[in-house]
Amino acid sequence: MSFDLAARLAARRTEHLYRQRPLLQSPQGPQVVVDGQPLLAFCNNDYLGLANHPQVIEAWQAGAARWGVGGGASHLVVGHSTPHHELEEALAEFTGRPRALLFTTGYMANLGAVTALVGQGDTVLEDRLNHASLLDAGLLSGARFNRYLHNDAVSLAKRLERACGNTLVVTDGVFSMDGNLADLPALARETRAKGAWLMVDDAHGFGPLGATGGGIVEHFGLGQEDVPVLVGTLGKAFGTAGAFVAGSEELIESLIQFARPYIYTTSQPPALACATLKSLELLRSEHWRREHLHMLIRQFRRGAEQIGLELMDSFTPIQPIMIGDSARAVRLSQMLRERGIMVTAIRPPTVPVGSARLRVTLTAAHSEAQVQLLLSALEECFRLLGALELDHA
């Protein structure tokens, strides 16, 4: 018996689902060089344009000069340095919670939190469209795992009736492929009524959402009693890398004791924490970034609707254009790239079969003129592709 990897790869190609890594040959930003080609990119998650900010870079350089370039050990051995501690305190203050805990990646934060809180004899309930890291965490926890209908508090309530043991309800704050928000007030109401806990992964909400960039919990005016477990990633609007979980003293101490992805990994470089402290300062003080971003979102949605594109119900920087067929989505992405525009085609299994899409992401570093270039290219590509399809019909 042997693994027939060639057949599996061939099937991926046939189904127009084969994935390849574009080679980025420039810093992140609207203007990039990918595979040797200068492109105007609308596909990264650097929502506030901080990934290449001079002050953030300077903070990293100064941090490396003082603290070195490696964490050196796990947090529980001798890898928990002063910059890590200061960043955790700043994130706790930012989220309005007693404590925050740093993780090396968002995937590890989700895996660590879920598996530390529930296990055999418990229940974990998740939105059907949750990020893969959340779904994997639920499956790996050993708890009874079930998924409720997307953003449906009634469906959640029915599953809560059948839950056993400690019950954790898990949802994305902003759904990464649709751009829509979780109905957090309704989900929190049902969860609290049954004595369960709600965990929110607000990876795409911190920065763009809320009066001060505090994310979906701030957007809805909710507190720790509504959302006891709050997860955020630092590689998106913060512009750096890593993740955190914010919550009560007891929650954070429990994660330190029981979250295996936290316990058994080397800490992130201290200099990275220095950079994130600076990006958090900019996120909180430079409100114009969020205001400019929301203006661009309105501009894009108006223009796309005038062209007749099928958008989704999103007022976040994630603006998917529904295509349906994977081959058609790939072709449109290629046509845009031929015109100097980079927009990624998202296909199954990342999204459900028949819902392939172009995933446009906007950032505060984009200009109105660049968004107009995107709209003009989209209009031309959809018109040309429609004509080609009629010719072959």
Sign of CA dihedral 291, 294, 300, 304: negative
The per-residue pLDDT for 43 is 96
* The token pair that represents 27 in the structure block: 């810093």
The per-residue pLDDT for 322 is 96
Question: Catalytic one among 53, 80, 236, 366?
Answer: 236
Q: Is 292 annotated as a binding residue?
A: no
Q: Which residues contact 307 (CB under 8 A, 6 or more apart)?
A: 375, 378, 379, 382
Residue with tokens 């409720």, as numbered in its chain: 148
The per-residue pLDDT for 393 is 58
Residue ranges of the chain with per-residue pLDDT less than 50: none
Question: Catalytic one among 176, 267, 279, 355?
Answer: 176
pTM of the model as a whole: 0.95
Q: Is 107 annotated as a binding residue?
A: yes
The per-residue pLDDT for 390 is 64
Q: Is 236 a catalytic residue?
A: yes
Q: Is 19 annotated as a binding residue?
A: yes
Which has the closest alpha carbon to 322: 342, 334, 304, 306?
304
pLDDT tens, 80-117? 999 999 999 999 999 999 999 999 999 999 999 999 99
The per-residue pLDDT for 332 is 96
Q: Is 176 a catalytic residue?
A: yes
Strand-pairing partners, residue 324, are 356
Q: Is 176 annotated as a binding residue?
A: yes
Q: Is 147 annotated as a binding residue?
A: no
* The token pair that represents 325 in the structure block: 């067929």
Q: Using alpha carbons only, give the angle 233, 141, 137 rounded to the nearest 5 degrees.
A: 30
Q: Is 233 annotated as a binding residue?
A: yes
Q: Is 74 annotated as a binding residue?
A: no
The per-residue pLDDT for 188 is 98
* The token pair that represents 98 in the structure block: 């007693």
Grouping H, G, I as helix, E, B as strand and the rest as coil, residue 311 is strand
The per-residue pLDDT for 15 is 86
- Residue pair 336/379 in contact by the 8 Å Cβ criterion: no
Q: Is 285 a catalytic residue?
A: no
Question: Catalytic one among 53, 75, 204, 366?
Answer: 204
